[in-house]
Amino acid sequence: MCMQSFDLDFPSGLNSYITAPQLGDYMIQYVDHFNLRRFFRFQSRVESVALEGDAWRVTSRALTTTEAVQSESFDAVCVANGHYEFPYLPEIPGETAWLAAGGSKGSGGSKGSGGRRRVVHAVHYDDPEEFRDQSVLIVGGRSSAVDVARELKSITRCLYVLESGCRDISREDHCCRIPMGSSLNPDGTLSYDGQQIAGEAVDTVILATGYTYRYPFLDEEGLGLDFGPTRRYVAPLYQHVIHAKHDSLCFMGVPLAVPCPLPLFEAQGFFVASHLSEPFTTETTRLEWVQKQFASVPRSQDVHFLSGNLWDHLRSLLKEAGLADPDLAAYARRLSLVQAIYEDRGRRRPQLPWEDDAYRRCQYQADYKALRYTVTLPDGSREEGSAKL
């Protein structure tokens, strides 16, 4: 329920954790409710976005039999092509020798696809049955890793989850959570801190290691875009949105670990619209913000990581974009309840990645006027909570 737009509630009667098709239906309702369909062009792929003087030349191709090409000029461009398509494929310590001893290098986002041992990315994970009776190592500690671990727990022979948030090895039946620094041995066993970890030899590695940012239709170099050596950030983006040097080029949805994506996208939309109608920053301010943002994180790939900072970020986006009281105050009040509900849900999440996701069967009822919520737990009991203002 944290996902819904502040301007259009989800239809009543839905579970608090809605399904992907329900979210799809809601997006269609949203488009129709605000009469947005006239702005879309379906079945069309943007092939190039190039700066021509002060304007942007956009070339697109119809994905129909005509393959008609259109070339149009725009004052500003908002890039919203998503960033969960191109996998990030780090090499796990010991991986090369492990593959050499029983697999072979493949291509297309998988490694070792020619032998028994292989490395696949979660983007290609579809059917858990593919991993039945195998010994699997999942690498990663966020949503994909946890979802895959839960699905594989009951059908694998042995399941390891290697994640940076793990300090000490923890076990439950045939499942084992292991810290960063663990490595694969050529025989498929795992080691940590010079000691072999008890358990069966690994058959398959699933990389739930996230994705890279790619914009094949942009002249990245010409536009001064920097992605770092592993393409896990986009710079220089002011507030993760506006190109600091070409401020008529904006990027939507770049942040990572976003508790509620739709409210973020809406706030970014407001921010962009306001900036394009009357710019409220200078290039110097924007570049300084980007520099400070990089200085504030331990690793450059964390520069777009929002997580618990989302709530302050939303308020500051809207304030900076000119939303004034009483609208800003009303927004902040409602947001404080969404935050309280999201944090309540966070407290109910299990500690170990493969544990039951009972928290997703909780039902929340929000009272936005009183800023209170009721949560009905899977066993039918109820608890109450409120927003902190």
Ligand X SMILES: NC(=O)c1ccc[n+]([C@@H]2O[C@H](COP(=O)([O-])OP(=O)(O)OC[C@H]3O[C@@H](n4cnc5c(N)ncnc54)[C@H](OP(=O)(O)O)[C@@H]3O)[C@@H](O)[C@H]2O)c1
Ligand Y SMILES: Cc1cc2nc3c(=O)[nH]c(=O)nc-3n(C[C@H](O)[C@H](O)[C@H](O)COP(=O)(O)OP(=O)(O)OC[C@H]3O[C@@H](n4cnc5c(N)ncnc54)[C@H](O)[C@@H]3O)c2cc1C
Residues that bind ligand X (CB under 6 A): 84, 90, 122, 139-145, 147, 162-164, 180, 208-210, 256-257
* Least distance in angstroms from the C-beta of 41 to ligand X: 26
Among all residues, whose Cβ is closest to ligand Y? 82
Strands 211-212 and 204-207: unpaired
Does residue 350 touch ligand Y according to CB under 6 A?
Answer: no
User: Pick from 89, 117, 93: which is nearest to 201 by CA?
Assistant: 117
Q: Residue 71: which of ligand Y, ligand X, none does it interact with, CB under 5 to 8 A by kind?
A: none
CB 352 within 8 A of CB 172: yes
Among 15, 48, 81, 96, binds ligand Y (CB under 6 A): 81
Q: Return the residues of window 241-260 that contact ligand Y according to CB under 6 A.
A: 252-253
What x/- string results for residues 206 through 225 when contact with ligand Y is judged by CB under 6 A?
-----------x--------
Q: Is the backbone of residue 141 left (phi > 0), alpha (psi -120 to 50) or beta?
A: alpha
CB of 353 to ligand Y, least distance (A): 15
For residue 193, give Cα distances in angstroms to 179, 183, 196, 199. Answer: 10, 9, 8, 16
Question: Phi and psi at residue 82, in whole multiples of 5°?
Answer: 75, 160
Sheet holding 237-238, edge to edge: 77-79, 249-251, 242-243, 237-238
**CB nearer to ligand X: pick between 111 and 286:** 111
Q: For ligand X, which is the closer residue by CB, 90 or 216?
A: 90
Asked if 330 interacts with ligand Y (CB under 6 A), we say no
Task: Please say which residue, 84 or 280, places its beta carbon nearer to ligand Y.
Answer: 84
Assign residue 89 a region: left if phi > 0, alpha if psi is -120 to 50, beta otherwise?
Answer: beta
We find the least distance from the C-beta atom of residue 210 to ligand X, in angstroms, to be: 3
The answer to whether 74 contacts ligand Y (rule: CB under 6 A) is no
User: Judged by CB, which is closer to ligand Y: 252, or 290?
Assistant: 252
Among 261, 269, 322, 385, binds ligand Y (CB under 6 A): 261
For residue 354, the minimal CB distance to ligand Y (Å) is 17
Six-digit token pair at 337? 């309840």
Q: How far is the CB of 170 from ligand X (least distance, A)?
A: 16
Name the token pair of 265. Answer: 């996208």
Q: Which does 87 bind (CB under 5 to 8 A by kind): ligand Y, ligand X, none?
A: none
Q: How far is the CB of 360 from ligand Y (least distance, A)?
A: 10
Residue in 7, 36, 68, 84 binding ligand Y, rule: CB under 6 A: 84
When asked if residue 263 is in the footprint of ligand Y (CB under 6 A), the reply is no
Token look-up 């490395």 returns 119
Backbone angles phi, psi at 301, to 5 degrees: -70, -10
- Least Å distance, CB 255 to ligand X, is 9
Contacts of 343 by beta carbon, 8 Å cutoff, 6+ apart: none
Positive or negative torsion for Cα 152, 153, 155, 156: positive
253 binds, among ligand X, ligand Y, none (CB under 5 to 8 A by kind): ligand Y
Q: How many CA atoms lie within 13 A of 310 on its CB side?
A: 28
Give the Cα separation of 308 and 279 in Å (integer): 28
- Residue 41 CB, nearest distance to ligand Y (Å)? 9
Q: What are the residues binding ligand Y (CB under 6 A)?
A: 3, 45-46, 80-82, 84, 144, 217, 252-253, 261
